[in-house]
Amino acid sequence: MGIAPLQPGEPQLNQALGMNEKTSVAIRHVHFEDLGTFEAVLKTAGYAIRYLDAGFDDLEAFDPLGIDLLILLGGPIGAYETETYPFLAEELTLIRPRLAAQRPTLGICLGAQMMAAAMGAQVKPLAIKEIGFSPLTLTGQGKQSPLRHFDGVPVLHWHGDMFDNPPRATLLASTERCPHQAFSCGPNILGLQFHPEARLQAGFERWLIGHAFELAAAGIDPRDLRREAKQFASALRSAGTEMFAAWLNGLEP
């Protein structure tokens, strides 16, 4: 809550963040799907944090190669809805050169779908939305990656779309309903379909309110999600922060 978004008229992003700190920018699509528990990990690792709000801030004025870390957050729209939401096309244009340059980039849910689309993979609707808590099935590579911290831990799923595994990317995890849950492309590129960052001990109610219509349409009782969030909050927070810290520590210049 104490991290301000980039204000219109702030062209010098590095100056705004602080030239003596590592710089990170999170592109946010809905206000309550923020960095969550990852915020503290970033601060501990020495990153200054700034948000860009998609659909409000001028993404075309942002230099995608001028920061140390880019994080693409979730949202309730499809990566393929570029005509309906034109800022998605701007976002794809922004992230393509960064991915091509192998600059550190993390995508969560919609953010991972945007990364996959930018890398040439198809993003498409699932037959049935995956909303709720369940563990991942890690691939052999996934068990050797920072995702090893999620082995056996129920994670939060909240999506109706799925990305195909991008060309030349390594598949790290799957679930029965969604075979492509996570991918990497070298140590600096990581896409996660699930939500390891969500604050479940404080702030999860915002998700239940903000996505109330989606839950009702899917026939999902928010009381069940609230109960499961309390049950798994501690384990997921530990696993999520350990995974994220391990990924940051493994980034290459």
Count, residues in the chain: 253
Q: Which position has the higher pLDDT, 192 or 6?
A: 192
Name the class of domain 13-249: alpha beta
Q: Where are the domains of the chain?
A: 13-249
- Please report which confidence band the pLDDT of residue 149 belongs to, taking 50, 70 and 90 as the band edges: very high
- Per-residue pLDDT for 15 more than 90? no
pLDDT value for 9: 37
Identify each DSSP E strand in 29-85 by its residue range: 47-53, 69-72
- Please report which confidence band the pLDDT of residue 197 belongs to, taking 50, 70 and 90 as the band edges: very high
- Per-residue pLDDT for 251 more than 60? yes
Mean pLDDT in the chain?
Answer: 92
- Please report which confidence band the pLDDT of residue 21 belongs to, taking 50, 70 and 90 as the band edges: confident
> For 124-134, what is each residue's pLDDT tens digit?
999 999 999 99
Rounded distance, CA 159 to CA 153, Å? 18
Rounded distance, CA 22 to CA 2, Å? 18
pTM equals: 0.92
pLDDT value for 60: 87
Rounded distance, CA 117 to CA 115, Å? 5
Of 17-26, 53-62, 182-191, least confident by mean pLDDT is 17-26
**Beta partners for 25?**
50, 70
pLDDT value for 202: 87
Rounded distance, CA 208 to CA 218, Å? 13
pLDDT value for 216: 97
Average pLDDT (193-218) is 96
Residue with tokens 């001990």: 201
- Per-residue pLDDT for 18 more than 70? no
What angle, 0 to 180 degrees and rounded to 10, lies between the N-to-C axes of helices 110-118 and 87-100? 60
Average pLDDT (197-212) is 95
- Per-residue pLDDT for 201 more than 90? no
Average pLDDT (100-116) is 98
The first and second tokens of residue 23, run together, are 């710089």
- Please report which confidence band the pLDDT of residue 138 belongs to, taking 50, 70 and 90 as the band edges: very high
The first and second tokens of residue 231, run together, are 């049950």
Pairing outcome for strands 155-163 and 22-28? unpaired
- Please report which confidence band the pLDDT of residue 62 belongs to, taking 50, 70 and 90 as the band edges: confident
- Please report which confidence band the pLDDT of residue 76 belongs to, taking 50, 70 and 90 as the band edges: very high
pLDDT value for 115: 98
